[in-house]
A = this chain, B = another copy of it.
Amino acid sequence: MSVSAESAVEARTDRLVRLLDDRELDCLLVTNLVNVRYLTGFTGTNGACVLSREERLFLTDFRYVEQAGGQVRGYERVEAGRDMLGDLAKRLHGRAGFEDNHVTVEAHRKLGEKVAEGVELVPAGGLIEGLREVKDELELGAIRAAAAIADEAYGQLRARGLVGRTEREVALSLMRALEDRRAGPSFPAIVAGGEHGALPHATPRDAEIPANTLVVVDLGAQVDGYCSDCTRTFATGQLDDVALEAYELVRRAQEEALASVRGGASCPNVDAVARDIIEAAGHGEHFGHGLGHGVGLEVHEAPRLGKTAEGELRAGNVVTVEPGVYLPGAVGVRIEDLVVVTDGEPEVLTSCPKELVTVS
Q: Which residues of A contact B (CB under 8 A)?
A: 43-45, 62-64, 66-67, 82, 98, 100-109, 123, 125, 172, 176, 179, 199-203, 288-289, 328
**Pairwise interchain contact B101-A101, C-beta atoms closer than 8 A:** no
Number of copies: 2
A244 → chain B, closest Cβ, in Å?
A: 24
Contact residues in B for A125 (Cβ distance below 8 Å): 104-106
A82 to B98 CA separation, bound complex (whole angstroms): 25
**Pairwise interchain contact B66-A199, C-beta atoms closer than 8 A:** yes
A125 to B101 CA separation, bound complex (whole angstroms): 18
Chain B: which residue is nearest A300 at the CB level? B45
Contact residues in B for A101 (Cβ distance below 8 Å): 104-107
- 28 residue pairs A–B, Cβ–Cβ below 8 Å: A44-B201, A45-B201, A62-B288, A63-B200, A63-B288, A64-B201, A67-B199, A67-B201, A67-B202, A67-B203, A98-B105, A100-B105, A100-B106, A100-B109, A101-B106, A101-B107, A103-B105, A104-B104, A104-B105, A104-B125, A105-B105, A105-B108, A105-B123, A105-B125, A106-B123, A106-B125, A109-B123, A172-B179
Starting from the known contacts A67-B199, A106-B125, A109-B123, 19 additional A-B residue pairs (CB-CB under 8 Å) come to A43-B203, A44-B201, A62-B200, A62-B288, A63-B201, A66-B328, A98-B105, A100-B104, A100-B106, A100-B109, A101-B106, A102-B104, A103-B104, A104-B104, A105-B105, A105-B108, A105-B125, A106-B123, A176-B176
**Pairwise interchain contact B62-A289, C-beta atoms closer than 8 A:** yes
Contact residues in B for A201 (Cβ distance below 8 Å): 44-45, 63-64, 67
Chain B: which residue is nearest A81 at the CB level? B308
